Amino acid sequence: MKLLLKTKIIVPVLAIGLFLTTTAFKSDFFEIAKQIEIFTTLFKELNMNYVDETNPAELMDTAIKNMLEELDPYTVFLNEQDVEAYKINNAGEYSGIGALVRSYDDRLVIVEPYKGYPADKAGLKAGDEIVTIGDISVADFKDDAAELLKGANNSSVSVSYLRQGKLQSTTVERSAIEVDAVPFYRMADDKTGYIVLSRFNSKASSQTEAALIDLKEQGAEQIILDLRGNPGGLLSEAINVTNLFVPKGELIVTTKSNVAKFNQEYETRKKPFDTEIPLAILVDGQSASASEIVSGGLQDLDRAVIVGARSFGKGLVQRPLKLTYGTQLKVTISRYYTPSGRCIQSLDYWNRDEAGNAVRNTEFQEFRTRNGRKVTDGGGVDPDIHIDELKTNELIRALVQNHVVFDYATRYYYANNLDRPEAFELKPSDYQSFVDYVSNSSFSFETQTEIALEKALTDREEVVFTDAIAEDFKKLLAEIETSKLKALNTYSREISRQLGDEIIKRYFYREGLYEYYLEKDAAILSARQVLSQPQRYREILQGP
């Protein structure tokens, strides 16, 4: 009788739940269908009746991009060319000239030629501005002109470029380009192996394991894994790299989403390489996504000491979804959580400020590692050992993003000779030259304080402020502008680090930069020190 009563109660409840779920689904589906119909009719009438001739493809591209900009910067539309580039990035192989290139409206700039590849062999250098490719002017090419540099193996392309104001030309023979996930590894001393993992493409775990095997054969008893500047990549490879150091069956990542099928737990599936070898992970403000899965996971499991500066803070997972005509939507499907349960997402794209900017998380929750150590969420992976010169701020980010550091390095390269990496030193006179360069350039950036003050000044100023108060506000803005230039000296140590990295690459490529790191880099020296002190290493990981 009791069983029958339970059945009578449960069935109606389930029926009601199913009805509500179905109703909600139908409601959402109807709203989507309604909005699609409105947009379709609007798009059709606009193109048929607008006073001037329209370009439907360009209008649609603009509409899609503007719609997605309201979400987050990782949810993007990929056209056919973008899809191919996405595949190449994950595979780590393509055919082209072998150089990192930055696109402008009227030119392409060589950012970094890869050592021994076609661009390097043809004499192209960082800072060269490509103005024509074959008989095509970059300024007149509406699409991404960088695509013109790609082509079949052994095919040639002629380019003209500006170097220090002088027009030059060369011919580049394209070849197969392999983008290594591990571009460098070496013994840092007789006991310490050093591995640079620069990206999480499909080669990441296999190349990291190969480096570990080789270094162990050379006598490595402890390992430094450098994830600085690594923007991430494949989630599966982040799991596999972590698996090299922890046993099979360990939970590394949990993903949570509004879509049930994207709620998953990811555990290690393979036999590890070594679960005991002392390990230090290096991170900085450009270590993101998969880099944070590895560093955050190993920190939560008390398997590695993290050294450097707080990482970027990207706790969002994307997946490419196929659309029609070979296009795709790369969409954020979930947030990921490290073994302790924390999400390290730094920016909140769904609760923006009045200016429409994403809000940075400032209130962190505490979590516990396996050994009970305190860690926090919401702002990247916070290192166990902080290296001051790796820290960044608005000014430093602006100097890098506006290519001021890059442009000064170009200028330095053509004015100075350098015969070996370890001989490099940025002298005080060199840094003062950089300060003068910035002061005389068009470089500018706005702090959050300036933005707030300027908004206050333009918000019905005649009603809110007296002339005296408004004048005080303007004086304050002027003082802030002056203080920004003074900040170049306040943060000289951190900025010098950025300058040094860029300058050394000009002479000795990436390999030379890593060799310089082994001798002079504060993070590597600190990691070597803690690894060479077993007691201190254990104390950091054991916690309270």
Q: What amino acid positions are annotated as catalytic residues?
A: 289, 300, 314
Classify strands 279-283 and 305-308 as parallel, antiparallel or unpaired: parallel
CA dihedral of residues 295, 300, 304, 309 (deg, nearest 10): 50
Whole-angstrom Cα Rg for the chain:
27
3-state percent helix, strand, coil for the chain, nearest multiple of 5: 45, 20, 35
Give all strands (DSSP E) within 12-92, no chain letters: 76-78
Where do we find the tokens 């590894």?
185
Q: How far is CA 131 from the centre of its chain?
A: 28
Closest CA to 408 of 386, 438, 369, 366: 438
Structure tokens at 27: 């409601």
The Cα–Cα gap between 175 and 155 comes to 8
Q: Are residues 176 and 91 in contact, defined by beta-carbon separation less than 8 angstroms?
A: no
**Position of tokens 């739940």?**
17
d(CA 311, CA 381): 5
The residues, any chain, with a CB within 8 Å of residue 340's CB and separated by 6 or more, are 300, 367, 368, 369, 370, 375
- 334, 329, 319: which is closest to 82 by C-alpha? 329
Instruction: Look up residue 302 and give its two tokens.
Output: 């008390």
Q: Is 136 in contact with 157 (CB distance < 8 Å)? A: no
The 8-class DSSP code of residue 152 comes to S
- Written as six digits, the tokens of 282 are 């290096």
Angle, alpha carbons 168-171-174 (nearest 5°): 140
Q: What is the dihedral of CA 161, 167, 172, 176, to 10 degrees?
A: -20
